[in-house]
Amino acid sequence: MLLGIISGLILITVLVVIVSIGFQPFLILLLLIPFFYLAGMYRSRKPSKGRIKRDARSLEKTVFRPLLRDVLVIDTPVWLNEKYASFFNALSIVLAANNKKHLLFDEQRDEIMMTAQQTFESDGQSKAVHDAKSPLKQCLDNNLITREPLDISDAIEIADEPLTIKLLVCAAKKSRNITFLSDNRELVARARTVLKSRKVGITVIDYLEGLMPGCNEYCAAVRNGAIKPSAWKRI
């Protein structure tokens, strides 16, 4: 809007000058330079529809499609970190488009809910405000979660391990490769060791902050109707 007003004023000024001084090509070119500069700035700052679509498909292919293929375990602090909200929004879009659900073990759900309760009480937030920002509640409300109890009765050797390690071991019963989202390097290293001993593959995504700009753009593109989320026949 602002650029349109400025461009209009520049063009009017150019026309007035042309009329007042007569036709002088070199002078007219000089007067048009600011207009070309502003137009170039606008085009560089506003991504084209083609680029938006390419970036969205690239994000789906490199990040979200693999998440649907493997069993996904998301570390509890990631669920509770508000700066990762756009990732969960994008994940929800892809899950819904492909009629898929995220597997969440009951014990992790309880941990997330309990930690969230303690957090909003200590921060003085109302429950309604907290729930509105909760990725877990949004996924539950949209029926994008399937829940199961944690069963490690045949893995007593990990009884003293953190809950996240137990989640990974239990998830390994469903897939020979697990995708693990966490920004805790020590926990990731321990997860690699435990799963390797069980001959289970693990794919780690620990660069979540770097994904946020792309997730933001993806969600905005879907919301604005610039793209439709991909629905894959075969994951």
Residue spans of the domains in the chain: they are 2-45, 49-223
Q: Please give the helix or strand (H or E) that residue 186 lies within, else none.
A: helix 185-197
Predicted TM-score (pTM) above 0.85: no
Q: Which residues in 178-197 are b (16+ Cβ under 10 Å) and which e?
A: bbbbbbbeebbebbeebbee
Q: Which tens digits make up the pLDDT trace of 149-198?
A: 998 888 888 889 999 999 999 999 998 899 999 999 999 999 999 999 99
Residue 51, exposed/middle/buried by CB under 10 A (0-12, 13-18, 19+)? exposed
**Distance of alpha carbon 32 from the chain centroid:** 42
Q: Which two tokens stand for residue 185?
A: 């390097």
Q: Which two tokens stand for residue 34?
A: 């600011």
Closest by CA position to 105, among listed 178, 40, 48: 178
Closest by CA position to 91, among listed 126, 46, 60: 60
Question: pLDDT of the chain along its 235 residues, tens only?
Answer: 555 555 555 655 655 555 555 555 555 555 556 655 555 555 555 557 788 899 999 999 999 999 999 899 999 999 999 999 999 999 999 999 999 999 999 999 999 999 888 876 766 655 544 555 689 999 999 999 999 999 888 888 888 999 999 999 999 999 889 999 999 999 999 999 999 999 999 999 998 999 999 999 999 999 999 999 999 988 7
| Residues 6+ away with beta carbon under 8 Å from 57 | 227, 230
Report d(CA 198, CA 181) in Å as an integer.
19
Q: Is residue 155 a contact partner of residue 200, using CB atoms and an 8 Å limit?
A: no
